[in-house]
Amino acid sequence: MPKVSIIIPFYNCPYVSEAIASALNQTYQEREIIVVNDGSTRFTEKIQPYLEQIRYIEKSNGGTASALNAGIRLSEGKYIAWLSSDDYFLPDKLEKQLEWMIKNELKICFSSFYQMNEKSEIIGEPVTLYFQNNEQMVRTLKRRNIFNGSTAIIHKKIFQEIGYFDESLLYTHDYDFWLRVAQITSIGYLDVPTVLYRIHEGMGSKKYKPGIRKELQYIRNNGR
C-alpha cells in the first residue's frame, strides 16, 4: 500500500500531543508523521515523548502554509494528509479514506467530521456536506470554503501540477489551494467522519476574522 505522510504544523498549541497520538494510533501502518514546529515558544515539551516515533522539524515562524510546505517538501509519502495540531484523527481515518480514494481514482478527498470541545468531548452529530455532483460542489466552493483541511488526503502529484500552499496567505491558504485544485481535477467527498475538529477560543477562525475577510477579498479579486 502507498505511504501517507501526515503533516502536523505546530505553533504554540496545547493540544499537539493529542494530535500526534492520534496519528500514531492509525490502523494504516504505511505512514510517516512529520511535525513542523513553526517557531513555537510554548508547549514544545509536549512533543518530546514522541521524538523517536516522528520526524521533527524546527523553523522560524512563517505561518501555517509555510509549515505545511516545509513538511510536504521533506515528505516521502505518495499521499499527504494534513492534521491541524488542535485536531484529532479517528483511528481508521487513513485506512478507510485512502481505500475509497484509490477505488474511485481520486487525487484529493475530504470527509465529514465531528466537532469537539476543549475537553475533547464530541459535540453533536457529524458535520456533513451533500452534493448532487462534482459541478455543484465546485459552484458552492467558489462561494465559500466548505472543506475542513484536517480531513484532506492529497496525492503528491497535485503539488507538482499546481504548486504548494500560498505562503503570503496567513489564514486562507487552504481555501486558495482548494480552488486551484478544483480547476484541474475532481474532488472526492467521503460521507464518513474521519476527524475530530476542536472548537476553542484560541482557534484562528475566531481570532483573525478581519484578516480572513481581507484575504478572501484578495482571492476573489484574483479570479480563483
- Residue-wise pLDDT for 68-80, tens only, equals 999 999 999 999 9
Please state which of the ranges 13-27, 94-108, 124-138, 207-221 shows the lowest mean pLDDT: 207-221
Of 150, 6, 2, 10, nearest to 75 (Cα)?
Answer: 6
**Alpha carbons 35 and 194: distance in angstroms, whole number:** 20
Mean pLDDT throughout 16-26? Answer: 98
- Over residues 165-219, the pLDDT tens digits come to 999 999 999 999 999 999 999 999 999 999 999 998 776 666 667 888 889 888 8
Residues 6+ apart with CB under 8 A from 33: 6, 8, 20, 23, 24, 53, 54, 55
Cell numbers representing residue 115 in the block: 466537532
pLDDT at 94: 98
**Alpha carbons 46 and 40: distance in angstroms, whole number:** 12
pTM reported for the whole predicted model: 0.94
Q: At which residue does the C-alpha cell 452534493 appear?
A: 131
Q: Does the pLDDT of residue 54 top 70, yes or no?
A: yes
Q: Does the pLDDT of residue 223 top 70, yes or no?
A: no
**Alpha carbons 147 and 112: distance in angstroms, whole number:** 9
* H runs (alpha helix) in 114-208: 134-143, 157-162, 173-182, 204-207
